[in-house]
Each structure stands twice: as C-alpha cells, then as structure tokens.
Structure 1
C-alpha cells in the first residue's frame, strides 16, 4: 500500500462563498502570529537567504499579507489580529526602534513592500491609518515618502512608488509627491504594446509573464482605476479598456479545474495568478462577452480552491512554503524569501467588495463552453494557447529574461507550458535526469564532452514570429550550431498532439534529446512505473525506436518521431527529484539520437502527446491508447515543402 497522503491545513474549507474566502484568509493571517516579532514589524518564517538583507526579507513577511488584510477590513469585516500590523507600522518606521525597517536606498527591496502598504492606506485608511498616533504617522509618512527621490528599476517596480504615493495622498501627507506619481505613470504607460498587453519594462524587454498581468501591471492598473477615477478619469478608463482586451487573452491561461499555466518567474506566488479576475471586480469593469460575473467568479475561486487543497503549498502550521505544488528551492529566484509567497494575498481583493456586488451575487459558472477545444494565437506574448482534448497549455517562442535569472531557459525558453504537467528546471550541471529537459530540445557537444554530461537548451530566441498560425523561431546553443524551430498547434483531427519541427545546422558532433511533457512517475502503490507493452493501457512506460510514453494517475504523455526513417531511440527518463514544479517524482518521455557535423540540414519532426487526467479521475480516460496509436498528426504541406 502507498504511504498515507498528507492533507492541506485548509482541506475542509470549500472556498465557494465570501465567508469561505474570508475564513481562508483569516487562517493564513492567524498562522503568522507565532512568527511575528514583539514589535510587530517583522515576520520571520524561515532561515533561507535572498540577495537582499534579512530585515527586508522579514519586512516582506510583514507587508505582503496586508494585501489580504486591508481588503478584508475595507469590506467591513473585523480582524482582531490587525493590531499586530498597527504595532508593526509604528515599530518598523521608527528610526529609534530596534525593529526599524531601515531607510530606503536606490533599488531597495523595501520599495517593493511599499506597494501593499500604500494600497492598505488607500482602501482601509480608517482601520490602518487613522488609529495611529500623530508621531507614528509622521515617522510612517517620512519612511514611505523616502522612496520618492531614489532610483528604481525600469520595470513594474515603478508601480510600487505609485501606490506609495497613492497611500500618502489618501492620508493627506505632505510627503505625497503628485509630480513624481504622474511621471511614473507616464513612463509605465510606455510599456504598453497594444491589445491589453504591457511588457515588464522598456522596448528591449521581451517578457509577457504574470508580471504583465496578475502579479503587477494589470492588477495595479485596475486598482488605480478604481481608486483614482475622480482625479484621473481619462487614464483610469484607458486602464479599464486595456483590461477588457487583456481578459479575452488571459482566460486561455486557465483550465476547467481552475489551474493556471505555470510560466515565467515567481511561481511561488501561486494563486496570485488569478488576482486579475478579482481586480476586474474591484474596478467594476464592464465585462466583454463571453465573460460574465459568474464566469469571472468561477475563474478566480476555482484557482484559489485548487491551491487551498494542495498539501505541499503549506507547512503544517498553515504558513506558506517556498515552491509551487510542494516545497522546492530549485525553481525559485534569488529574491524569494520565506515571506515572498504571500504576494498571493492580492487574490483576496474581492473581500473588499460588499456582498451585494455582482461578483458575489452571481452564481459561480464553469469555464465557458465556447472557449473549450479551441486554439488561439496570441500575437503579442508569442504564445499559441489551446485546450484541445482537455489539455490546457501554450506553445511558446520569443520570450526571454533580459537579465541574469536563475533557470531562465526553463522559465521562458521551453516549447510548451502546461497547466496540468507544469514545467521542470535543471537541478544539476550535467546528465539528462538533472537537465529538466521537458518540452525542450537538449543538445550536448559530444566532441568535447564524450560522457554527455552537459546539455544546452533554448534560452535566447531569435526572429520569433507567428507564421501561418504557427510559431517560428531560431536559436544558437553554440556559435556554429543553429536550430530553427516550428511549433504546430493541435488540430481537430489530432487534438491530443502538437508538433515540433527542428532544422539543425551543426559544425559539431551532437547528442540530441527531445522531451515531451514530464508526468508523475509512480504506480498506484507509490513505487516506480514498470515497463509495459505497446498495447497496454495500464500505468507504466513504453519505449521503442522513435517512440516513448508514460501513463500514471496524472494521465498520459508521449513523444513519437515523425521524420521518415527516424533512428531516434525512445527512452523514459526518471528525472531527478524536485525538478518538476507540480510532481516531485516525475518521468520524461524522450527521443535521443546523435548527429555528425555536416553542411546539410538535419530535420527532426516530433509529435508530442499529452492527455491529463480529469478532476476526480485517476489516469487518462479509457481509450486513450487508440488515440496514441492511430491519431498521429499530419505535417502541414508548407513545412514539408521546406524540408524538401
């Protein structure tokens, strides 16, 4: 028998009503009390480090829950523990107190935390500002206004200063700098590229991840449009219009079970992914069809509900872990402190709304039928989104991080990102099991590395574009090796497959390994999957020339070589533990071959099969094996012409 499964501390909360959501937030806030300093200004949740100082890290633990606390109070609820944050404001901003947060410097992490603090004053002034004595208000506004003359990164960070000034404005503080706020807003608007989308930075930046939406920019624009609609009506209406356009793209990043597609950095923020939907309600945006308040309510609550039920997202005492579906430092960034995950508290913004708001009055609706079994080209983020065959994922080409970032190739450079299977990150410097090569083409120079221990995957993408409903791009793992890649979305005739076509030009002898979707790799009894025959639909792994697949409780995943006369070997790699964001024990179907230096092009054509289990179901639906054996996709004629 398998070992007993752990359960989430919030397992009994259905997260369906306003009161359920309130109870979930209160549980998260209560769990922080034992970790709060005597003066209330610092919350210490662990001993792992960040690139910034420990005081800033513990300030992060203090500030990020305020997203939820202030929304709770603004909505008319009481919370006795709010006193801890009032004490913290007094202690943390007092230069003579031992828990003083410290004055801000250029590009200081403290600036990030000013966003939640400024928002809290703007929406819950009566509860979180008015009770403070005057001397505390003075030190508080001096500390918060201390960022107005400091240098900031040219990214979404500028929104943090906007919200600091917004809070100072609501408090009637002389430290409020209206000119500084307008200049920041004007510059932030230069990030906008159309269609509702904004880059996370100037023109040289090609990142359209969750920072462009729920984590920062879209959420901030919507909150601003609600709070400043009288003072800045034209800009506020522009932000609402951007949100209406963006919503029709962003809905494709969520599946019918409420999961959002993991993509990019800061995945430890978890259900902050869905805070955009709450911000739509907060800003009273008129929804575009087919979205209704019932649909929006479902999108957000299903996402929060999914996370509330994940045991690995929480420590036994109810505090959040660093990771995604389980504690995992391999996938983090050097700015993730133990308090970082509480950015998810942005998703409690709907608690600021009265019970009579349309969001709360509406009955929760399922994912819109008209958006199911679709393929949508998203030109601006260079994604093709699909949920054909019950599998929600994006094909991706063209995004990359503009600065040094841990695991950036895995977070932006993979060919596909799935809500069900997640993505994997490297956990070592060598060997395929360490490489995290799911949804990737991994290359090893075996002329210099005969052992095949060092692998390169796509990180910097060149000439990325949408062409004939597909993604086309090139990349160079070495100066004398060029790979051109086409990503072909699924079709109605073959809904469980997508295709990848690679043209490789190399002056080196290479080992080539292409991975499909990583999948949970254990049997029903918890032991490793066993080999099975090609006609076996039960859990197990199957390999052959040009084929590899795995089936488990999570569904089925496989790859097959479609190029004529392929000699690629099928293997199912047992990935190193804790490399995949969703499954700590995962396997990866792969196709492996070697190529020699040549002036001729080498072509690889790969069919990638993915079928997740449905909610409440163990494994893929019966009959999936027939789809695997009989429904391999047909290559488009124009790509065949290129190959010839």
Structure 2
C-alpha cells in the first residue's frame, strides 16, 4: 500500500508532505515507551534492541530537516523515546554500545537532530535526561569502529553533542576525520576504507562519505574551515562523475550493497544543496535530486501497511544483506536534507533542469566502471571489485538502470546462480561460481580487464568493452579440468501471458517482454544458446526474470570465448543490429564493430 497522497511531488510543500506521509505508517509500530520500532517480525544480524533502535533513529534523517523550517507534530514521541532509550533503568533501554556495534550507526541521526533541532530534542529534557543521553552517545568515543564510513558516525555524534554544550571528544573526532580523509583517491573519489586494502567504491561514496563530509562542512565550518573547504571541493569534483550514474527519468545504476536504501541515491545531490556547493547549475542538481525521489515513490516499494520494505524495486529479502533489518530502508530519508534550507535558497528557487548531453561512454577507473548511454538505456560495464556482501553486487560484467541484476539462488543447477551479465563456471554442472575474489583488475583506455582463479588449475582472463548498442566480452579460459560454462545477458522481466517471447539460434538468444529486449550473441558460434528462467525474487527489478544465455562444456585446454550482449527497454528493438565480429590470428584475437577495432588481445 503506497501511503502517499502524491507520488509526483514538485514543490517544497509537496516534498514536506512526502516526509510526513512516509513517517505516518510507522507510528503504530512504536513500542509503549516510544524508544523502539518493530514493523514486521524479520530480523538482521544485530541484536533486536539495535534493530528496533533503527526504526526510531532512521526516520530522523528526514524529520530533522523537515523540522528546521517545516511543521512536524510528533516531536514529543521522539523526546520520550530518547529519554527511555538512554535510561539504563528503563525496560526499553537501547543497551550498551560495544565495539563495531550497530548502535553507533544510529547515533549519527540523533547527533544531527541535536545540531539542527535542539529546541525539540534537547532543550525540553531535564538535566538528568540530558546527562543520560550524553552518556549513551559518548560510548562512541570509547569504542572501536570499523575503518570505513562508520568513522563519520563518531564525527556527527560529537558535532551534535558539541552543539548543545555537552561533553564530547574533539581529539577522537579529529583523528577519525584524518583517517577518513586518507580514503580520498583523487578527483573527488573515495574508497570506503583504506585504499591499500582494496576497500570498495560504491554508493557509500556519495550517500555516506560525501554526504557526511558536506554536513561537517556546514556544522564545523567556523572551527575547521580548511577541512570544510576540502570536503566541499572533493564533492564538487565528484558531482561531474556521479551524474553519469543517472538516466533521464531519475533511475540510478543499481550497483553494490545496501540498495534497499533506495532514494538515499538522491542524498548526495541534496547534501550539495545543504552545503551550498553549486557543483552543477542549481537546476541540474535539483532535477537529479527530484527525479530520483519521484521515480522511487512511484514504485511498489511498500508493505501492505505502507511501511518501506526490504528489497529494491519491490519487496524481497533475497537481494538484501545480513545487516538489513525491517527498519533499515528508512535511511532513504537522507534524501530530504534540502528541507533544512530556507525556501529562498537557490536550490528551491531553481526550476528542475534535465541532464545535459553526456558522452556515450564515460570511463571511471576508481570504481572500475565504464558507464554507457544507449538511447536512454544507462548501464555500466565493470572490471569487478572485491566481493563485499556478494559477488553479484560487484563483480558482474554489466549493471543496468533499466534491468537491475540478480543474486544467486539457494538452489543448484545451470542458470540458478544469478548468471545474468556474468560468466558462471561449474565442475559438476550443479554448483556454479561467478567472477569474484579477483586476482587483478584494470581499466585502461575504456577497456576493462580482470583475472580470477576459481579453482586450482583454472584461470580466467576477461576483457570487456563498449561497442554500442552492444558491449563485448572476451574470455581466455585456461583449464586443467572439465568445465561447464554459462554466460548470460541482462535479466529481463518474465511476465505472465503471450507477450513474453524467446528466440534461440546458432549464434545466440533473445528474450522480449513488456520490459524490453535482452540479447546475447556468440560471434564464434561455439556455444549452445538457451534461455534460463531465474529463481523468483532474486532480481532487483522484477520477481520473475529470464536470461538469454550461452552454454558450453570445455575440456582441459586453453579456450577463447566471445560474447556480444545488449538490452533496451523497447521490446521492438532490433536484436540483429550490426554486431561485433571476432578475428583469430596466430598472434592475437581482435574484436571489431562498425569497422573499428574494439579489442585486441595477444594470445
């Protein structure tokens, strides 16, 4: 049930209403003491108290900005929750926050509340209640935190405490900030952790590190102007790269972990506005922000009770991470930071502007991506990253704003390991592995390269490059074992009824549905073409999907495999458009398209 009176907000007042209406279904799920929220019975890897604290704290990411200039009539509930949740003698006490504890994550939203709306969350409290709250928050200064974006939770918590004159730890704050800045790798990019350890580059760059850095730039500018300026300048540089991840309708590339946070994807653009960073014209920034939020609000992302569900475009636990509680999706409300700005801010006065014409291909070596734009279809080719929370989320060959991707199934058999946009290998024809635990990767001159060793005696080198409207993949498989090989194109919705069609030929397979067209072709015509129906609820976008697939069995030897893949939201698109070709010589393998060389690999 969508709880919103409008899914197409455009004015500031309409976005304010969206925040109130997103919050409203949670009210009936608060505990008697208002310190905990439990909308459904599912859980996560953390303790119940911490997961239920998420339901209390995460709505604050939207409610606090709303409260700066707008009206919100339920602050008394949050004051009571703060008092009871931080009182060690109360039944709803949130408990001690140990090292690496989920409770530290949730402290940041409370810190933001102390900084922006102290008149609601601090000043009405008694001296004893303030002391309990400060003591509970200060646990973050005695605990070890993971070396990643989590360090910003300490920073924001201390900023909140400082803003109300409470005890805090400026030394640990400064040390955390120094560590966070060491993650900067140039041109506005960060890694989410020490770069030398192969930390990931994903949405935690825009919606966490940049987002929190821009909050810091505003809240601590007077005391730390040089660092504030650095955070602003990195965000300015990053904006020109990050806009490539969005299509004209507001959809963003689904890539990496924590995608259940949904319209947190818009958070970076809102944080630019909050910090006054006109990295792009204000109309473009507002357009990127608003289109993404509107796209999400029009999707079936709610439970029957109107609560945000775990999932991506629809409710499903299969694509989630072990740390996703029923309350985790409310990090999406980080998108509404611009509501903390006055109505006469340039962000709110600007008319939404469309994206400018962007290049057909944009190489981004930091995350190992080449972002492609094909007649409205935005997708990214990937060299692969270290597999954080699932190989499917970082190591597939392509990620699409229109088709999403699929995760592995618990079942066995060909095609059931989330084989879309990847090469899947098996020794027994039942249990498959996809690319991950990579030995090396590279992004050079728009060509992506990787090497992985799935088993002793098996090594796979892969090259991926755009050849729009296609992309091409070339694999050199050196194996001392007999291998079963599946390679899939983009997964596409498999609806009921006659509108679903498949086609297989000697050179490849095509799937058409109301969601569009997905095709794979084998330029060497060395593999069998088939269509694999993935297990339900494993795709981010659709509960039922099909994947055009190329299949072979390889005997011990060195084998070259070549694949051309494309997809488009139009079901009538020409799947036989001029395709890349492959030439073998004794010295090299050459891939050409439209008379131009796409790849050349020495044998």
TM-score bin (small chain):
over 0.9
- Counterpart-to-counterpart distance in 1, 2:535 and 2:277: 45
Within the candidate set 438, 442, 451, 2:420 is matched to 438
The answer as to 2:512 corresponding to 1:542 is no
Is contact 2:4-2:22 (8 Å) kept? no
> 1:300 — aligned with what?
289
Q: 1:570 to 1:284 in 2, by over 3 A?
A: same
- Counterpart-to-counterpart distance in 2, 1:77 and 1:500: 52
Return the offset for 1:281.
0.1
Return the offset for 1:88.
0.5
- Counterpart-to-counterpart distance in 2, 1:433 and 1:25: 41
Q: 1:277 to 1:27 in 2, by over 3 A?
A: same
Q: Deviations over 1:494-542 (max 9, x none)?
A: x3211111111011111111100000112xxx3376xxxxxxxxx5111
Q: Look up the SS of the partner of 1:349 in the other structure.
A: helix
The answer as to 2:484 corresponding to 1:527 is no
> 1:247 — aligned with what?
239
Q: Look up the SS of the partner of 2:542 in the other structure.
A: coil
- Counterpart-to-counterpart distance in 1, 2:171 and 2:134: 17
The answer as to 2:234 corresponding to 1:275 is no
Return the offset for 1:640.
6.5
1:460-471 → structure 2 map (5 Å cutoff) = 460-471=437-448
> 1:178 — aligned with what?
170
Is contact 1:42-1:62 (8 Å) kept? yes
> 2:564 — aligned with what?
607
Is contact 2:115-2:163 (8 Å) kept? yes
Return the offset for 1:549.
0.7
- Counterpart-to-counterpart distance in 1, 2:2 and 2:99: 40
Within the candidate set 39, 44, 55, 1:50 is matched to 44
Q: Deviations over 1:360-383 (max 9, x none)?
A: 100111122x21x52010011111
> 1:535 — aligned with what?
none
Return the offset for 1:433.
4.0
> 2:406 — aligned with what?
424
TM-score, structure 1 length as denominator?
Answer: 0.89
- Counterpart-to-counterpart distance in 2, 1:254 and 1:479: 40
Q: 1:436 to 1:641 in 2, by over 3 A?
A: closer
> 1:101 — aligned with what?
94
Return the offset for 1:546.
2.2
Is contact 2:415-2:486 (8 Å) kept? no
Unaligned runs of 5+ in 2: 582-590
Return the offset for 1:633.
2.6
Is contact 2:506-2:528 (8 Å) kept? yes
The answer as to 2:337 corresponding to 1:349 is yes
Return the offset for 1:642.
3.0
Unaligned runs of 5+ in 1: 1-6, 530-538, 613-618
1:549-628 → structure 2 map (5 Å cutoff) = 549-563=510-524, 566-598=525-557, 601-612=558-569, 619-620=570-571, 622=572, 624-625=573-574, 628=575
Is contact 1:398-1:462 (8 Å) kept? no
- Counterpart-to-counterpart distance in 2, 1:11 and 1:580: 29
Return the offset for 1:286.
2.9
The answer as to 2:192 corresponding to 1:193 is no
1:68-467 → structure 2 map (5 Å cutoff) = 68-74=62-68, 76-173=69-166, 175-202=167-194, 203-214=196-207, 216-287=208-279, 291-311=280-300, 313-368=301-356, 370-371=357-358, 374-401=360-387, 405=389, 408-445=390-427, 449=428, 452-467=429-444
- Counterpart-to-counterpart distance in 2, 1:351 and 1:428: 43
Return the offset for 1:474.
0.8
Q: Look up the SS of the partner of 1:482 in the other structure.
A: strand
Aligned residue pairs: how many? 590
- Counterpart-to-counterpart distance in 1, 2:72 and 2:515: 40
Q: Where is the strand percentage greater, Structure 1 or Structure 2?
A: 2
TM-score, structure 2 length as denominator?
Answer: 0.95
Return the offset for 1:567.
2.7
Is contact 1:50-1:334 (8 Å) kept? yes
> 1:3 — aligned with what?
none
- Counterpart-to-counterpart distance in 1, 2:348 and 2:599: 53
The answer as to 2:494 corresponding to 1:501 is no
- Counterpart-to-counterpart distance in 1, 2:549 and 2:482: 19
Return the offset for 1:205.
2.7
- Counterpart-to-counterpart distance in 2, 1:453 and 1:31: 44
State the superposition RMSD in angstroms: 1.5
Within the candidate set 482, 489, 507, 2:466 is matched to 489
